Amino acid sequence: MNPTIKTVLVIGSGGVGSFYGGRLSKAGLEVSFLCRSDFHQVKSKGITIKSYQGDFLVTPTQVVARTEDYQGKPDLVLIATKVLAETNLVELLRPLIAPGVKLLLIQNGIEVERELANAYPNTPLLSAIAFIGVNKTGPGQIHHQLHGRLEIGAYPHGWDLELDQVMAAFEPTGLSVKHSTNIEKSRWKKLIWNAAFNPVSVLGLANTQQILTSPQSRLLLKGIMSEILAIANSRGLGLSEELIEQNIRVTEEFPPYKTSMLLDFEAHRPLEIESILGNPIRLAKESGVLVPHLETLQALLKLRVKALE
């Protein structure tokens, strides 16, 4: 087994998958993409990344419409699909699972790894969260506006060698990639922001500044964040209360912007309600933590999304 990662297959050609896959390709790896609606566009013209760090074009090694069509076995499968009930990742990945293949999941929310880990316990699973502002603006068209840091950890633990290999693969990209020794904790930390700003922005049709300006919704943000903290801490993660003020302060320092969930909503794309609200609510119930804010947001979002249909 060759320890070096040379071939990568990206599943999910949205902003995140295209950007990280694109940077790995630019750094010299052989990067292929699984594309559905974008297949013909990407196959004929590649992926154009407009980035504040410099625009570039990605020409994939292979473009496939189904995982079965991939030629060979990739060293790394970079999974950056949205976390949606209708996506059966386990079945999607089945044709790729083989010795030497590693999985890297770059997704939002919590408990996104469990299903894959249960289905393929012998396949190294690395779990990552991306701190990035990147959007898909059209088929094969990506706009990278902000940051790009990754935090990567093993799920649930172990896979030390494989983690090193993945970190090494990202090194020539020049991107900031941090090893998280407790990826579960990192996910909960990021969830503090996501569970508050994303749903409130959609239900209130408001950008970050509009949310922070109204005293009631500012208080609401804190109420939501407190509930996320309480669930995390009921699981022994020891998150500090100070993270609440910190998340608010950091957001306030940025120019006003629309959350990714609001952008998805406005574009009539599906929303990641389960990984951001549904999973935390389920864990809260297991621990007996009361989460009325989260439950209210979840119920309203589900109604609101139905009204779009």
Q: Does 293 bind a copy of itself (CB under 8 A)?
A: yes
Q: Contact region for a copy of itself (CB under 8 A) — 36-44, 150-158, 249-257, 294-302?
A: 294-302
Q: Contact region for a copy of itself (CB under 8 A) — 51-59, 61-69, 187-195, 202-210?
A: 202-210
Q: Contact region for a copy of itself (CB under 8 A) — 44-52, 157-165, 216-224, 230-238?
A: 216-224
Phi first, then psi: give them for residue 147, nearest 5 degrees. Answer: 55, -165
Q: Does 256 bind a copy of itself (CB under 8 A)?
A: no
**Range 55-61, long-range pairs (CB < 8 A, 24+ positions):** 56/22, 56/26, 58/18, 58/21, 58/22, 58/25, 58/26, 58/31, 59/25, 60/21, 60/25, 60/31, 60/32, 60/33, 61/7, 61/25, 61/30, 61/31, 61/32
From the CB of 189, what's the least distance to a copy of itself, in Å? Answer: 23
Which residue is it, tokens 């990021």?
190
Q: Which is nearer to a copy of itself, 166 or 294 (CB)?
A: 294
Q: Which is nearer to a copy of itself, 169 or 273 (CB)?
A: 273
| Residues facing residue 33 across a β-bridge | 10, 63
d(CA 300, CA 303) in angstroms, rounded, equals 5
Q: Does 106 bind a copy of itself (CB under 8 A)?
A: no
Q: Contact region for a copy of itself (CB under 8 A) — 4-12, 15-23, 199-207, 252-260?
A: 199-207
Q: Does 303 bind a copy of itself (CB under 8 A)?
A: yes
d(CA 243, CA 264) in angstroms, rounded, equals 26
Which of 223, 230, 237, 270 is in the footprint of a copy of itself by CB under 8 A? Answer: 223
d(CA 7, CA 4) in angstroms, rounded, equals 9
Q: Does 209 bind a copy of itself (CB under 8 A)?
A: no
Strands 125-138 and 141-154: antiparallel
Site residues for a copy of itself per CB under 8 A: 200, 203-206, 210-211, 214, 216-217, 219-220, 223, 292-293, 295-300, 302-304, 306-307
